A and B are shown apart, each in its own frame.
Chain A
Amino acid sequence: AAGVIQSPRHLIKEKRETATLKCYPIPRHDTVYWYQQGPGQDPQFLISFYEKMQSDKGSIPDRFSAQQFSDYHSELNMSSLELGDSALYFCASSYLLAGEPGDRVTQYFGPGTRLLVL
């Protein structure tokens, strides 16, 4: 079965640089979520999009922005990178089945992008 695709899988940046992470949801999934997982930490929710509109917002820094495009893929843009931004960034996707209440609920995670800021 097709899964969530994230690119790149690994990224190394210098402080104050910019990074763009991409997420391609499972086919027919219309909702995308972004999470950040620091070393030894639990994943922290950043932001989500449904039908190309921002839906929920978590602890996303002002230096980060994201959007969802017409083909439902999403990009997380990170500017003025700091050492503390080094983390594993997950994208997850979900979908709604007609007549199935609550099926937007289960989130399927991609493999993550490992970002290292030097």
Chain B
Amino acid sequence: AQTVTQSQPEMSVQEAETVTLSCTYDTSESDYYLFWYKQPPSRQMILVIRQEAYKQQNATENRFSVNFQKAAKSFSLKISDSQLGDAAMYFCAYRRSGGGADGLTFGKGTHLIIQP
């Protein structure tokens, strides 16, 4: 079974600075997908970024980028120019490849605090 590990229960960063959230995963699959979801106090799950394992290029979405290291099974999220609205719980998630409607496997989450 696949597992996703987020080793940082909580991170704190000053507004406008950069922060990196860590995620490692364990899988025997060669093709899969990785995601970062954000869950603010409203509890809504919001997709931040997605990475396909077959792509060597790291995904980027505005201030959000990932460092995907396939051999190390590492998938970290970098948030640049942190804003107060970035404060939330961040979940790393894994989905195996294939044509079915497979569910996501989530990590335990990292609570991100933005200091004004």
Contacts and interface: CB of A to CB of B under 8 A. Distances in A.
Interface in B59-116: 91, 95, 97, 99-109
B91 A43 contact: yes
B30 interface: no
B9 to A, nearest CB: 10
Interface string A91-118: 0101000000010111111011000000
A49 to B, nearest CB: 7
A94 B101 contact: yes
Given A42-B107, A48-B101, A55-B100, A105 B45 contact: no
B106 A43 contact: yes
Interface residues of A, number: 31
B15 interface: no
Given A42-B91, A106-B50, A56 B101 contact: yes
A112 B43 contact: yes
B11 interface: no
A56 B47 CA distance: 21
Contact of A111 (B44, B52, B104): B44
22 contacts: A31-B101, A32-B101, A33-B101, A33-B103, A33-B104, A35-B103, A42-B107, A43-B91, A44-B106, A47-B103, A49-B101, A50-B100, A55-B100, A55-B102, A56-B100, A58-B103, A90-B45, A94-B101, A102-B52, A108-B47, A109-B45, A112-B44
Closest 9 CB pairs of A and B: A45-B103, A55-B101, A109-B45, A42-B106, A48-B101, A50-B101, A31-B101, A56-B102, A58-B103
Interface of B: 33, 35, 37, 42-47, 50, 52, 91, 95, 97, 99-109
Interface of A: 31-33, 35, 37, 41-50, 55-56, 58, 88, 90, 92, 94, 102, 104-109, 111-112
